[in-house]
Amino acid sequence: EAGVAQSPRYKIIEKRQSVAFWCNPISGHATLYWYQQILGQGPKLLIQFQNNGVVDDSQLPKDRFSAERLKGVDSTLKIQPAKLEDSAVYLCASSLGGGTGGVHAYEQYFGPGTRLTVT
């Protein structure tokens, strides 16, 4: 089966500019996650969707970050305006999710990530 797709793979912008990332999860996966991974650190959850609803966005800096998953499939993450400290890899992951997911409900599969450099 096809994996999680993300684009672009790399992006360089200047501070105060805006940027958007796109993610297409594995077909049939109800849960979608966006993570920020700063070099040398573990992934930090930014937002979790279950279908098209937000489950957890407590660590999303809402003054500059926004995310949507309007049709419950693909998702976009936007940063506006960007700051230097936003330089990181943005990872998207998906899982089957609770309910019908069974024992594999929580297994997350990651996309290749988008490496963002803010100058």
The site for other proteins (CB under 8 A) is made up of: 33, 40-45, 48, 56, 58, 91, 103, 106-113
In angstroms, rounded to a whole number, what is the distance separating the alpha carbons of residues 35 and 89? 8
| 106 contact partners, CB below 8 Å, separation of at least 6 | 95, 98
Length of the chain equals 119
Nearest approach, Cβ of 102 to other proteins (angstroms)? 12
Nearest approach, Cβ of 61 to other proteins (angstroms)? 16
| 45 contact partners, CB below 8 Å, separation of at least 6 | 33, 34, 35, 56, 59
Nearer residue to other proteins within complex by CB, 14 or 105: 105
Beta bridge partners of 68: 76
Nearest approach, Cβ of 106 to other proteins (angstroms)? 5
Nearer residue to other proteins within complex by CB, 40 or 71: 40
Nearer residue to other proteins within complex by CB, 17 or 87: 87
Nearest to 118 by CA among 90, 83, 75, 72: 83
Nearer residue to other proteins within complex by CB, 81 or 112: 112
Nearest approach, Cβ of 57 to other proteins (angstroms)? 12
